[in-house]
Structure 1
Amino acid sequence: MELRHLRYFVAVAEERNFTRAAERLHIAQPPLSRQIQQLEEMLGVGLIEKGARPLRLTEAGQFFLAHAKPLLDQVHDLKTMTQRVGKLERTVNVGFVASTLYGLLPDIIRRYRERHPEVELTLHEMTTVEQMKALKEGKIDMGFGRLKSQDPSIRRILLREERMVAALFPGHRLARAEAPVRLVDLVQEPLLVYPYSPRPSFADQVLALFSEVNLTPEHVVEVRELQIAMGLVAAGQGMSIVPASVQGMHHRNVVYRPIEDKHAFSPIFFSVRHMDRSPELAQMLAVIYGIYDDYGLPHTKERL
């Protein structure tokens, strides 16, 4: 069995069609069909149900797919990490969600560059979902995101839980409230959530806050990004729920109120490829934990 057999089978299984799989692999369909048949002969079991339309995997095929994909991811990781080790100049690509830019991420990047000037850092703004894909494709080496997700090829380290706040127009009835607002106080307000794609996103995390206390916002407006949500809040078009670090935007027509509900937190995750143990990643974690200690922020510490 060779790696190409795994790649060919995964393509067929994901596309559920030999023609589309062949196009994806840039090969003709007959050779692809022969390779799959050869794989089944080597294993001594059928992987694809004969004559099924659309294409369906057998139980053995589903098992093989579940284990083949992580193996291919590991091979890709090995290639990427070996190429990085072989380069004299260290380059690290960092993905981040927009809201972290208003928190401590700038401090983290600045300190890392001061301590490790030999490493070239490049930043890429992308959602958590986009980061997961970019990590597996080798386009970034680490990511700062907020959504919980499970992927056997990605290791996610919880850095800390950040309090969430309500963003309101200064003239809003709750803007001058002395006590923290409650989710039940906000359920009838036009709720601006972001981004509307790709999903799942931070929008789903906000909606889940209401769901956890058996509430459903009456009017949800999905917008493309954080900055648009804040602009619409400033225009009095609704309110939004954002991580506390977004208060660093200092918008003159937006006020922020703490949310009383004890589960109103947004996690910050540090994501890397599961096999990656490069020194740059360990150095970045050391910088992150040092800054958190300096600011006295509660956080968890893990090693790669």
Structure 2
Amino acid sequence: MSPSLKQLRYFVALADAGGFGRAAETVHVTQPALSQQIKELEGQLGVRLVDRLPRGIQLTRPGQEVLTRARRILTEVGDLAQAAQRAGGLSGRLRLGVIPTVAPYLLPLALTQLRARDLSLDIRVREAQTGDLLDGLRQGRLDAVLCALPLGDPDLSAEPLFEDRFVLAGSRARLAPFAEAPDRLRPAEVSPDQLLLLDEGHCLADQALEVCGLPARRQVDLGASSLATLVGLVSEGFGLTLLPELALRAETAAAPDLALMRFAAPEPARQLALVRRRGSSDDGWSKAIGAVLRQAGEGLVAQARAQLP
């Protein structure tokens, strides 16, 4: 007899939880019931999948191989269900991941437009750092991710949406030395001692280091968890930061003392894209949501360029 999808789900839950008790809670069954299913799975496959330890479990080498294949199978099954729901395009349930430096600025506008197109659309949004979102995408927990390029993963497909340029933000006093020649301002002129960044893991922090020509954080550090925190600090004179155009309207409204300057051309920028698994089913839903996200993003960027020519 072949393994069932239920057994595969239980096994993946066990591997993720690291113990029978926590795994049983995750899949909403009793611990003996889950244990029995794992034993049956091992019997059907003819191998031991886990070593039972006093405080948890450890996957055997065959167990690690089965886990990889089980995740792939469950992802494909999830894709099948989503394809059936979206047979008519953008409908059914959509699980969308968005990075934190985009979500609070773009989502309120984009989600309103998406729901206006189809009130039956069930949108589930997860906001997290790029690495976590892409892991969720690969494992089938997300249908698509809105993040910045590049990806460097041949198993993922990206549809570029719009360009989001960076501006220099700080107090008026901090920006005064650059005001003498604003049309020649380059990112490399920003002193590492003044540059404040987000926590490590935020792609925006890595992009800021790259555009300023800095190989590592060195003394460039803060560890702020949000752009709003950075903006509040730099508007009070605690250094400088790079702010994406997407955030300009919201953050300048919250911090009226914030001063901004554009860099000389070519301005540093990030390319935002809608990412999905290569080969996953698509009956038009990705183009439909991509169009909505692009329209919302380009609108916010156009407002930023009018606000700060």
Change (3 A) 1:13 1:149: farther
Cross-structure match for 2:224: 223
Q: Partners in 2 of 1:248 and 1:87 — Cα distance?
A: 32
Gaps of 5+ in 1: 298-304
Which shifted more, 242-251 or 37-46?
Answer: 242-251
**Which of 179, 184, 190 in structure 2 is aligned with 1:185?**
190
In the alignment, is the contact (CA less than 8 A) between 1:247 and 1:256 conserved in 2?
no
In the alignment, is the contact (CA less than 8 A) between 2:187 and 2:211 conserved in 1?
no
User: Which runs of structure 2 are paired with 1:19-168 in the superposition (5 Å)?
Assistant: 19-49=21-51, 55-85=57-87, 96-97=98-99, 99-100=101-102, 118-120=117-119, 126-129=127-130, 136-137=140-141, 142-146=144-148, 155-159=157-161, 162-168=164-170
In the alignment, is the contact (CA less than 8 A) between 1:165 and 1:243 conserved in 2?
yes
Cross-structure match for 1:254: 259
Offset, 1:149: 5.9
The secondary structure found in structure 1 opposite 2:76 is helix
Cross-structure match for 2:233: 232
In the alignment, is the contact (CA less than 8 A) between 2:171 and 2:257 conserved in 1?
no
Change (3 A) 1:183 1:103: farther
Q: Partners in 2 of 1:46 and 1:256 — Cα distance?
A: 62
Structure-1-length-normalised TM-score: 0.69
The secondary structure found in structure 1 opposite 2:241 is strand
Aligned AA for 2:30?
Answer: A
Q: Partners in 2 of 1:14 and 1:35 — Cα distance?
A: 16
Offset, 1:242: 2.5
Sequence identity (%) = 25
Change (3 A) 1:253 1:94: same
In the alignment, is the contact (CA less than 8 A) between 1:188 and 1:219 conserved in 2?
yes
Which shifted more, 87-96 or 23-32?
Answer: 87-96
In the alignment, is the contact (CA less than 8 A) between 1:164 and 1:243 conserved in 2?
yes
Q: Partners in 2 of 1:90 and 1:18 — Cα distance?
A: 33
Which shifted more, 5-14 or 285-294?
Answer: 285-294
What is the number of residues matched between the two proteins? Answer: 285
Q: Partners in 1 of 2:89 and 2:160 — Cα distance?
A: 30
Cross-structure match for 1:17: 19
Cross-structure match for 1:214: 215
In the alignment, is the contact (CA less than 8 A) between 1:191 and 1:220 conserved in 2?
yes
Aligned AA for 1:222?
Answer: G
> Are 2:246 and 1:271 aligned?
no
Q: Partners in 2 of 1:200 and 1:101 — Cα distance?
A: 16
Aligned AA for 2:236?
Answer: A
Gaps of 5+ in 2: 303-309
In the alignment, is the contact (CA less than 8 A) between 2:86 and 2:285 conserved in 1?
no
Offset, 1:227: 2.6
The secondary structure found in structure 2 opposite 1:221 is coil
The secondary structure found in structure 2 opposite 1:227 is helix
Q: Partners in 2 of 1:151 and 1:68 — Cα distance?
A: 21
Change (3 A) 1:67 1:256: farther
The secondary structure found in structure 2 opposite 1:73 is helix
Change (3 A) 1:33 1:211: farther
Structure-2-length-normalised TM-score: 0.68
Give the RMSD, CA atoms, in angstroms.
4.6
Offset, 1:246: 3.6
